[in-house]
Amino acid sequence: MIPLPTGLRARLVITFTLVAVAASLLVATIGFELAKTALVTRAETTALDQVTRELSSITFPIGRLRPGEAAPTAKELGRLAHALNGPGRSVLIEYGALIASEGPMSMSDVPNELHGRAKQSVVTQRKIIRGELWLIVGAEVYREAGSRIEATGLRAFVFFPLKDDERQLARLRTTFTQAGVVIVLIALVVALLSARQVLLPVRRLSAAAQALGQGRLDTRLPVHGQDELAELTSRFNDAAAALELSVAELRSLEAMSRRFVADVSHELRTPLTSMTAVADMLSEEAGRLPEAPAEAVRLVLREIERLRELVEHLIEVSRFDAGTATLNLEPVNVAEAIDDCLAMRGWSDQVAVKAPQGLAVNLDPARFDVIVANLVGNALKHGRPPVLVSARTTQSGLEVKVRDHGQGIPREALPHVFDRFFKAGAGRSRSQGSGLGLAIARANVHLHGGTISVRAQNPGTLFTVWLPHV
């Protein structure tokens, strides 16, 4: 099945060409038929005039003979046939039992219908005989008998060849065909030029829209004329100007928001430091306090730790938003880095590690530590043991997997787990964690030029990190 063209240019050219072809065929057909009719009419008129003129000039007596008249002889009929004859023609004269002929035709070549109609008037008929087209003129000679006109019984059948007329029609058909081809070619060229002229503003609009999509919000198009395309171009310019203004306002608000978050986070660091120092003192005294005050102290300590984590995460996020986060690459022993990350946080006895010793990769050790810590911490907080961490090298980079065996993340939440402040399930809105850990892990992975993905398991959840070789 031939696919239909979908481009506007192709459809315009095809439509224009089809219209030109249809118009050419219509004009050529009408012209050819008119020329054919005129040629045939002329041939018939000329033939009828010649036959009528020659038959009207008969001088020998025919029909009902008057006193003193002798019946026509075969010689007289032959002279009449010779008078009706001409180049390429064939003549048959029938008078009773006498038949005079000039040319190769015989009475068997005369159509029965024409033979019968010739008794009443001068008639014509076209017929193909021996592969050639002939115009046959048949007529019966009438004679005045006093006040009456009576049939004489003498019939003449003249065969006029139409070879010359057929050749003229063939030349005319060839001429019309050639003219049609030329017209179609001209129409095709005009269609291509017209389509290009019509689609040029559309292509400009497409290029301008692409430029807008790439962030060049100052893109504008010149407006030419007052047609629909000019109006569309003007509306595009208005929309681009409005979009540029809106994006500028949004960027300004976003910059203000980022500065606000960074400033608040940094401002919170000082009181948090004091609160942490006091909390450390309280934690030492919590064991000697009554149950209720001791529980309150432990609650305060947990919330201070949660607030400290949130502030640290906000500061880290603000660095990524500001574009100030950088990589400090160095050779890192992956297995040792993972073990150090778990040991520093007291998770070594809760997590199983499978990584070949001696596996060294160029990484930013601090950011790799953040990636592993956030993924493992998420698995410990929201999953169930055993938590497994594996690392291996591939042809293209380092692959690290973290899996837990918990209840798992709902499938509808999987596309959003790396969004900031996203927590799967309404019951987790007050759970431990800032909701920024996975977002920060993804940002650090992207800073390395890698990818991170999440996939549901049965049971649990699997996070896969890929970092390219550098």
Question: Is it true that the peptide bond before 459 is cis, omega within 30 degrees of 0?
Answer: yes
In the chain, what percentage of residues exceed pLDDT 90?
13
Are 315 and 347 within one domain? no
Structure tokens at 140: 């019966």
For residues 339 and 439, membership in a common domain is answered with: yes
Which strands sit side by side in the sheet containing 132-145, from one edge to the other? Answer: 98-102, 90-95, 148-161, 132-145, 123-129
Residue ranges in 57-120 assigned as alpha helix (H): 74-84, 112-117
**Mean pLDDT for the stretch of residues 15-40:** 84
Q: What is the pLDDT of residue 29?
A: 85
Q: What are the structure tokens assigned to 33, written together? A: 């038929």
Q: What is the per-residue pLDDT across 207-234, written as a single tens digit (0 to 9) for each?
A: 888 888 888 888 888 887 777 778 888 8
Q: Render pLDDT for 125-160 as a digit per residue (tens, 0 to 9).
A: 999 988 888 999 998 888 877 677 788 888 899 999
Looking at the DSSP assignment, which residues form a beta bridge with residue 454?
463
Strand-strand pairing, 132-145 and 123-129: antiparallel
Same-domain pairing of 80 and 156 = yes
Q: Are 237 and 221 in contact (CB under 8 A)?
A: yes
Q: Are residues 361 and 451 in the same domain?
A: yes
Q: What is the DSSP letter of 324?
A: -
What pLDDT was estimated at residue 402?
93
Q: What CA–CA distance (Å, rounded) separates 137 from 339?
A: 117
pTM of model > 0.85: no
Say whether both 45 and 119 belong to one domain: yes
Answer yes or no: do 124 and 148 share one domain.
yes
H-type alpha helices, 286-330: 291-322
Q: Which structural domain, as residue segments, surrounds residue 462?
A: 326-468
Is residue 160 within 8 A of residue 43, CB to CB? The reply is yes
Q: Around Cβ 137, how many Cβ atoms within 10 Å?
A: 25
Domain contains 420: yes
Q: 94 in a domain, yes or no?
A: yes
In a domain, 176, yes or no: no
Q: Which helix (H) or strand (E) holds 102?
A: strand 98-102
Residue 280 covered by a domain: yes
**Residue 87 CB partners (closer than 8 Å, separation 6+):** none
